[in-house]
Structure 1
Amino acid sequence: MSCCNAKGLMPLSDALETMQNSLSKVCEKITLPLSEALGFTLADNVISSKNVPPFNNSAMDGYALHANDLAAASESNTIQLKLVGKSFAGSPFNGNVEAGSCIRIMTGAVVPDCLDCVVMQEQCLADGELITFKHAPTVNNNVRFVGEDLKVGEQVLQQGHKLTPRDIPLLASLGVATVDVYRQLKVAVLSSGDELRSLGETLQQGEIYDSNRYSIMALLSRLNVEVIDLGIIKDDYALIKAAMLKADQQADVVISSGGVSVGEADFIKEVLNEIGEIGFWKLAIKPGKPFAFGRLPNSVFFGLPGNPVSAIVTLYQLAVPAMAKMSGEKLKPALRFNATCKEALHKAPGRTDFQRGFYSLDEQGKWVVSTTGNQGSGVFSSMSRSNCFIVLEQDRGNVAAGETVTVEPYSPLMD
């Protein structure tokens, strides 16, 4: 039995697997214009109905010709060809091009089937209808061929792919006007705590501003979900129950911060037990041990810890992958690589630790990483100054300067 199991803490890998196995896609399919589809997840495979490009075309401004006509061209033996026409983008040349002749051609214009290469204009000298060439091109030089990018029947994008700015022009090149995607998840967010105050209010002794809701909603804004802000709920059982029931009626996912620890005023767990069910509670991670996962009658519940670093770490590492599964998105493993740690790090065995760091390349071109200082779960400046997590394994202890550690750069969600 591991040290974590002995203490009743679920390892991070088990928590992730449990959520992935217990969750299913909840979003219905909708059809959107391509111009509105950025950030949505494809509900079907996209198959090419066209060749891209649809015709042989020029990769350069220059002259299209028969490569054999210039076979003898060299620095000392220039060859002249007769100019017999032009091919512009949208206005192809439709005549015949006999041996010893060429046509003027622009980038993207149709290369007639009878010609097999394009010479860029900088390598030619034009004198009226006579074009002088000094170099012999290879066959197919500067020609982009039918279907070179995409062929009819080829799978372009896969179901579960989240559309990026790189995908939109690809689909547009196929003439795709609309796409079938999954609708946005609806995510309700609330904070729990008598000590919390909204921005703009004057703080009294023992009160703090509610920063968690802002960090959670900021990250959610990059997930292309519909956010429902339920504000701050007092540490009152009846109020929390009412808020949870309201959220459950409006959303697919309910996210709370605070109220999941073991304090006398932490009622989230009790409410969840009454109106829903708890999947697990208390994980072998740091920060973020009191993370809760469960279900309400109509929605999935994620209970984030109240400490601000714990809240964003558990949201990013646990809730975001779960919501991706619910959105129909195919999960991609986080980018991780090894780096040399420049300072000693304190770590007790027993929990996977996500310390905040700053990675870079040293003068020898090798990856190194530094700590951002105080790693307390309430020190959010450690997040603001960082660009990565230093992921320290569950059973690992203290790290000495110069040791190799695992670095996980922040994804665009956090950058």
Structure 2
Amino acid sequence: MAQLSDDCFAFGGELLSLDMALALIAERITPVVTELPVTLAHAGGRILARDLIAGINVPPYANSAVDGYAIAFADLAAEGQTALPIGGRAAAGHPLGRPMRSGEAVRIFTGAPMPDGADTVFMQEDCIVEGDRVMLPPGMRKGANRRHAGEDVAVDSIALTAGRRLKPADLGLAAALGFEILPVCRPLRVALMSTGDEVREPGSRLEPGMIYDANRIMLAGLLRGLGCEVVDMGIRPDSAAALADTLAIASGEHDLIVTSGGVSTGEEDHVRAAIEKLGRLDFWRLAIKPGRPVALGQVRGTPLIGLPGNPVAAGLTFAILARPLILRLAGAVIASPLTFPVTSGFAHRKKAGRREYLRATLARENGSALAHKFTRDGAGILSSIVQSDGFAILGEELTDIQPGTGIEFLPFSEVFGS
């Protein structure tokens, strides 16, 4: 009697590991970088096309880190407190305007340029003012409370490196250096489509056997979060000829094609066949769960990644495969998403040699981070992503996970954020 499988991922044939798939992406995907000048106000989230070289020091001059009194350290008494006359005033935007005289103190405010001749600043809270004199306590360190020119960024140094996705702090640094325009990479133009005769647009009448398209709107948001220009090509029917025609057209007008559905082994799954007809298939089955049926290839020279039709599998494979592919194609420096060790709060069995990603919530218990598996873990349970904090990663070597087992955790914010 034939042995029936209750695991939809139990197919014969060799599966490619995730690490090998990522290595293939690094090998086969070439950045398509075209430089585009944009203003600071429009540079957020864009990828810097070349190194940003500092044309000035930041700060541009030595200045005070506190409100207080600037003095020359050599004027302090060897023992006990020192009394010095207050000879002037310096504020941000209003420097003293002359060299400081020997034996005087200058009233100074945070950010004000250090007067020539001053090398140390006493905080006003530590000083006693008596008329036009200030009493300075002993024990001060030379150079205290003084910011040096260029201590943040030195002139001619690399302030920001090419390939960096620009964050608000990066834009602030560029502004501090006086840059109004930044050289960024042109956004990728991405063709996005869903496949399947059963898939319908939200808002339309849902006939028996049909489902609404959840993937396209989700993937479009993730693509835009990576700075892509998304071209929505709608829902394509389960027709090998029609799909091949659509992919051929899309290949000539876009930097990347992203599909969802149609990459499994069924008779109505035509994406793989279309890729092989029009170009090259690099891989199409991975040793991961969910997300085993995922395809990478090229259609007439344009990269294509075919994601699974199940929403959770589509989201996961976008996070761990499409995201690094897109960042590389766009010219970004790719950093692996940050994971951290947690303790399993659940029991789970899996096959060796396959990496599994379970949706999980985090809780702090007895000073440790504990991951709790979502109650339903099917690849189509999209609410499991909505109601979870991230993926509990079960490595290829694990088979029997029990409460207390050490595992890795990937927060959704690392891969589903911008």
TM bucket normalised to smaller: over 0.9
**Residue 103 (1) aligns with residue 109 (2):** no
Please say which of residues 372-381 and 271-280 is displaced more in the overlay.
271-280
Task: Name the SS for the 1:86 alignment partner.
Answer: strand
C-alpha contact 2:53 2:158 (8 A) present in aligned 1: yes
**Residue 294 (1) aligns with residue 297 (2):** yes
Aligned counterpart, 1:318:
321
**Residue 45 (1) aligns with residue 51 (2):** yes
Aligned counterpart, 1:410:
412
Offset, 1:155: 2.0
Offset, 1:356: 1.2
Letter matched to residue 351 of structure 1:
R
**Residue 225 (1) aligns with residue 234 (2):** no
Please say which of residues 92-101 and 106-115 is displaced more in the overlay.
92-101
Letter matched to residue 391 of structure 2:
F
Offset, 1:5: 11
Letter matched to residue 365 of structure 2:
D
Task: Name the SS for the 1:166 alignment partner.
Answer: helix
Letter matched to residue 250 of structure 1:
E
Letter matched to residue 405 of structure 1:
I
CA distance in 1, matches of 2:18, 2:12: 15
Please give the per-residue CA displacement for 1:323-366, whole angstroms capped at 9, x wherever unaligned.
Answer: 111111111122122221011123222421111112343332x2
C-alpha contact 1:389 1:408 (8 A) present in aligned 2: yes
Aligned counterpart, 1:208:
211
**Residue 240 (1) aligns with residue 219 (2):** no
Aligned counterpart, 1:166:
169
Letter matched to residue 320 of structure 1:
R
Task: Name the SS for the 1:325 alignment partner.
Answer: helix
CA distance in 2, matches of 1:358, 1:188: 33
Please give the per-residue CA displacement for 1:61-109, whole angstroms capped at 9, x wherever unaligned.
Answer: 12111234443675xxx54322211111122112343343211111111
With structure 1 as the length reference, what TM-score do the two structures score? 0.92
CA distance in 2, matches of 1:395, 1:136: 60
1:370-409 counterparts in 2 under 5 A? 370-409=372-411
CA distance in 1, matches of 2:341, 2:13: 30
Aligned counterpart, 1:369:
371
Task: Name the SS for the 1:139 alignment partner.
Answer: coil
Task: Name the SS for the 2:135 alignment partner.
Answer: strand
CA distance in 2, matches of 1:335, 1:275: 37
Task: Name the SS for the 1:369 alignment partner.
Answer: strand
Task: Name the SS for the 2:396 alignment partner.
Answer: coil
Please say which of residues 286-295 and 390-399 is displaced more in the overlay.
390-399
**Residue 332 (1) aligns with residue 338 (2):** no
Offset, 1:412: 4.3
Aligned counterpart, 2:129:
126
Aligned counterpart, 2:5:
none
Please say which of residues 101-110 and 234-243 is displaced more in the overlay.
234-243
**Residue 15 (1) aligns with residue 18 (2):** no
Task: Name the SS for the 2:128 alignment partner.
Answer: strand
Aligned counterpart, 2:265:
262
Aligned counterpart, 2:32:
26
Equivalent residue in structure 2 for 1:157, among 151, 156, 160: 160
Q: Say how many residue pairs are matched.
A: 409
CA distance in 2, matches of 1:98, 1:26: 60
Offset, 1:162: 1.8
Please give the per-residue CA displacement for 1:86-136, whole angstroms capped at 9, x wherever unaligned.
Answer: 111122112343343211111111111211211222223334423333455
Task: Name the SS for the 2:174 alignment partner.
Answer: helix
Please give the per-residue CA displacement for 1:13-67, whole angstroms capped at 9, x wherever unaligned.
Answer: 1111112101111121222223322222222222222222121100111211123
Letter matched to residue 286 of structure 2:
L
Unmatched segments (≥5 aa) in structure 1: none
| Moved segments of 4+, more than 6 Å | none
Aligned counterpart, 2:189:
186
Please say which of residues 94-103 and 109-118 is displaced more in the overlay.
94-103
Offset, 1:316: 0.9
CA distance in 1, matches of 2:246, 2:37: 33
Offset, 1:138: 1.9
CA distance in 1, matches of 2:350, 2:321: 21
Letter matched to residue 17 of structure 1:
A
With structure 2 as the length reference, what TM-score do the two structures score? 0.92
Residues 60 and 92 of structure 1, relative CA distance in 2, 3 Å threshold? same
Task: Name the SS for the 1:316 alignment partner.
Answer: helix
CA RMSD of aligned residues (A): 2.1
CA distance in 1, matches of 2:24, 2:12: 19
Identity of aligned residues (%): 35
Please give the per-residue CA displacement for 1:183-227, whole angstroms capped at 9, x wherever unaligned.
Answer: 111111101112111111222211111000111111112101111
Aligned counterpart, 1:117:
120
Residues 102 and 395 of structure 1, relative CA distance in 2, 3 Å threshold? closer
C-alpha contact 1:71 1:136 (8 A) present in aligned 2: no
C-alpha contact 1:292 1:304 (8 A) present in aligned 2: yes
C-alpha contact 2:259 2:306 (8 A) present in aligned 1: yes
**Residue 275 (1) aligns with residue 275 (2):** no
Task: Name the SS for the 2:276 alignment partner.
Answer: helix
Offset, 1:6: 7.0
Aligned counterpart, 2:308:
305
**Residue 86 (1) aligns with residue 92 (2):** no
C-alpha contact 1:222 1:413 (8 A) present in aligned 2: no
CA distance in 2, matches of 1:150, 1:184: 29
C-alpha contact 1:73 1:133 (8 A) present in aligned 2: no
Offset, 1:368: 2.1
C-alpha contact 1:252 1:298 (8 A) present in aligned 2: no
CA distance in 2, matches of 1:335, 1:413: 9
